Amino acid sequence: MNDFSYLHTNCLELSIYLGCDKFPHESELQQEWENNKESLLTFMEQIHRGIKGVVTDQQGEPIANATIVVGGINHNVKTGR
């Protein structure tokens, strides 16, 4: 689902696996949080990187379904409605 969402809706979904145990015991959860908290917060801070904004026409009105092309990147993005 992650690849489909990213390629066809421009919605990036992530699944993060920290180990082989899909259902760790409740007693292990606090330690898992402590072990990974800083890494997760640093990762989340990265959303502020990159280019963001609104595509508008000459009157300042948003343009729906505008295609944004960046040279050297083979993945165009369309604006929302």
Per-residue pLDDT of the chain (81 residues; tens, 9 = 90+): 667 777 777 677 778 888 888 888 999 999 999 999 999 999 989 988 877 889 999 999 999 999 999 999 888 888 887
- Taking CA atoms, 30 is separated from 3, 10, 33, 39, 73, in Å, by 31, 34, 5, 15, 41
CA 46 to chain centre: 9
CA-CA distance, 45 to 47, in Å (whole number)? 5
* Cα distance from N-terminal residue to C-terminal residue, the chain: 23
pLDDT at 78: 85
Structure tokens at 79: 């604006």
pTM of the prediction? Answer: 0.50
